[in-house]
Amino acid sequence: SVYADQDAGSIEIAARIAALIVAKQEKREVAVLGLATGASPVKVYTELVRLHKEEGLSFKNVVTFNLDEYFPMSPTSDQSYVRFMKRHLFDHVDIAEENIHIPDGTIPVEEVHTFCESYEHKISSYGGIDIQLVGIGRTGHIGFNEPGSAPNSGTRLVTLDDLTRRDASRDFGGKENVPVKAITMGVGTIFKAKKILLMAWNEKKAAIVKQAVEGEISADIPATYLQLAAQVEVILDKDAASLL
């Protein structure tokens, strides 16, 4: 779907998430959300915080799994996705600390594999992700699934693409400070979600959106794999959709 601007698209996504949370509350069940970082979801989180503060939307039955985290990364570092999520969402709503899951950037590298397996198990133990939010990077990555990622890949340690590190360099004050690796849910992990909302805003994303939606399915642009998933919905503003 194409919306007039990022605000309108973000409000729609937040409304869908809120509807899921309320429906699950009525059934005394948990709502399992897969969350993304980066600039794209910020206004979705702003709207969710508004719904909490002004309309009483409770997050007590919400369980979250974030897509990714830099590695290594301290949770107290300003660039960590832990800090990002607290700043934009978790510090402002009534979610229980134990319901929040973000890949751990502090574990020893030899324990990463076990950590990633248990991340997958935890997602399954809650019955899987109900709504997964995903942005798209300029390399065509989803989460941190860079070019070359397999469609059935699971949560794992990956090496970041040079372009991804360049795009992140502003946050880190120089590309040399951007971690070389990250832990990310795999393409296969994302595919298991019951609903996937891919969002992209502004003309900077128009070219990669066109490739992702209309291009040949290929590991060169992992976002093209989403063409294979029936439960995907692409939510764009006019500018991001301008080349379609």
Kindly list the catalytic residues. Answer: 146
Interacting positions 158-177 with ligand GLP (CB under 6 A) = 164
Query: Judged by CB under 6 A, which stretch of 25-33, 53-61, 129-137, 207-215 contacts ligand GLP?
Result: 129-137
String marking each residue 37-56 x if it binds ligand GLP according to CB under 6 A: xxxx----------------
Residues 6 or more apart whose Cβ sits within 8 Å of residue 88: 41, 42, 45, 46, 49
Given candidates 82, 100, 136, 209, which one binds ligand GLP under the rule CB under 6 A?
136
Stretch that binds ligand GLP, among 2-10, 11-19, 133-141, 235-243 (CB under 6 A): 133-141
> Whole-number minimum distance, CB 153 to ligand GLP, in Å?
15
Q: Does residue 67 belong to the site contacting ligand GLP (CB under 6 A)?
A: yes
Q: 151: cis peptide before it, omega within 30°? A: no
DSSP label at residue 71: E
Taking the C-alpha atoms of residue 9 and residue 43, their distance in angstroms, rounded to an integer, is 9
Q: How far is the CB of 118 from ligand GLP (least distance, A)?
A: 21
Q: Which residues contact 146 (CB under 8 A, 6 or more apart)?
A: 139, 158, 159, 160, 161, 164, 222
**Binding segment toward ligand GLP, per CB under 6 A, in 14-22, 88-96, 130-138, 234-242:** 130-138
Please identify, using beta-carbon distances, which residue of 135 and 179 lies nearer to ligand GLP: 135
**61 or 132, CB closer to ligand GLP?**
132
Count of residues of this chain found to bind ligand GLP when the rule CB under 6 A is applied: 13
Smallest gap, in angstroms, from Cβ of residue 138 to ligand GLP? 8
What's the CA gap between 180 and 59, in Å, rounded?
A: 34
Is residue 133 a contact point for ligand GLP (CB under 6 A)?
A: no
Beta bridge mates, 63? 32
Q: How far apart are CA 33 and CA 151, in angstroms?
A: 21
Q: Which of these segments, 30-38, 109-117, 217-225, 226-234, binds ligand GLP (CB under 6 A)?
A: 30-38
Q: Say which residues have a Cβ less than 8 Å from residue 132's Cβ, sequence separation at least 6.
A: 33, 34, 67, 190, 193, 195, 196, 197
For the bound state, the minimum distance from the C-beta of residue 113 to ligand GLP, rounded and expressed in Å, comes to 20
Residue of 129, 121, 151, 143 whose CA lies nearest to 70: 143
Decide: 36 and 67 in contact? Cβ < 8 Å: yes
Query: Which single residue is written with the structure tokens 């971690």?
Result: 179
Q: Which is nearer to ligand GLP, 57 or 200 (CB)?
A: 200
Residues of this chain that interact with ligand GLP (CB under 6 A) are: 36-40, 67-68, 135-137, 143-144, 164
